[in-house]
Structure 1
Amino acid sequence: MKKLIGVSVLSASLVLSATPISYANTNDLPYVNEILELQPNVTEKELIKDVKSISKNTGDTKEAILEQLFNELKQDEAQGLSEKKLQGRGGSGGTVSVGTGVKGQIYYTASQTAYLNHGHVGMYYNAETVVESVPKVGVRKKNFKERLVDKGNAQVKSVNTTTAKRNAAADWAYSRVGKDDYSYNFATNRKTDHYGKKNCAKLVWSAYKLKADLDLDKDKGSGVYPRDVRDAKDTTLVRKI
């Protein structure tokens, strides 16, 4: 995917324009409705606020940012449909346990969030406990026996770094349990703060970005999606489920 020039992770301290956002004029901006259709639980106000913040921070036009967000969402949608067709399964249900793992390992399963097959990722805190962010709950811990995944579409991967950094990343993710609510916004989650609302991909990505200086995002686009984390170059397959 095409990357925006000069994009960097936004911090919570980023100062927005003092001029109020006129949401009545957003019909003049391209792709707004299309993006909201692909992220039905994200409000127009949230989307425009993020786009204005990114534009102020990077100098890129709102139109260019919206086009990139739309293209990334469509590519993720196409990949999800392709994998479901090829593998014959998908959706939000799971049939088998994810199994035990090693602290800092990540897992991926086909999963549907807000009607779209984005997939889902989580992280092992210890051999029997996983940490993940899920709708309506936010960041939580769960025993591996209760974390059901989609057999044939799930896998466990190791992150290529030191044991100390894997442990630190897992500890950070665990520290967010019960503190961070869920965000349905995948399109701009690479540019939002590491602390606060986050989806599953943002949780794993932030943990390794902060504690191991690794960017587990395959394409380095505006949003980090579960399959971006799964397919990041600094990961190695441990097993398929």
Structure 2
Amino acid sequence: MRACLILAVAALAGCGTAPPPVPPATSAASPVPSAPPAPPATTAVPGRTASTPVSPGTRVSTGWEITVYYTAVERFHTGEPTEVVGCPELECAHGNTRLGAFPADFVQAVKDEGTGRTTAGQYLNWSYDVGFWLDSAPRDTDGDRLTPFVSAAADPNVLPPGTRFGISACGRQDDGSAPPAAICAALRAAAWEITDEFTPGLGGSHHIDAYIGPETGPGFTDSPWYLTLTGAQLTID
């Protein structure tokens, strides 16, 4: 939830096809992880293409910026151990219990993305109004479980919680290039729902964060999956 948390990446927190799409191959010196899990077939939204008319009651909205967010995975991080304090469970805020020592880059990724999976199998979550807490699942700022290729965040004054939408056109990446076809296809096939909101003052009126699940290897932020789209088109139910 890069925009629903206080972030380091773009200051914005998180993200159906058959087999998951595979990012382009890279050199052995700079490995890129495999793709995060693609949306299951049950979440496919047939008809959400630029050439197919939308159903009555569905509106088309253009000019959106979309960023992805993900669950950091501790075993893919190797920074210096950093002590973290917070809540041992969700039902508290800004606790001072020692939660453990974790790699510094993992802790930063948790603050950037909002959630991380520890080697012990727990989830270290973070939000601006709670701080760090340990949990059994990745959560958004309201404590609801994040679902890959479903959960998304937006300005609640623009798209309130519960709004369902599809991505009917991916637009362009930051550098003006088209996003990888397989990644765009996975984002378009998903049935998204606004379940989270941006940190107050961040995000903007035409910005969405889309949750794509756990990172799948070291260097995930250098992979094609970690992207920002501009000029995207949504179909909003």
Q: Does the alignment reach a TM-score above 0.5? A: no
| TM-score, L = length of structure 2 | 0.27
Q: Structure 1 or 2: larger helix share?
A: 1
Work out which structure has the larger RCO, using CA pairs closer than 8 Å and 6 or more positions apart in sequence: 2
| TM-score, L = length of structure 1 | 0.27
Q: Structure 1 or 2: larger strand share?
A: 2
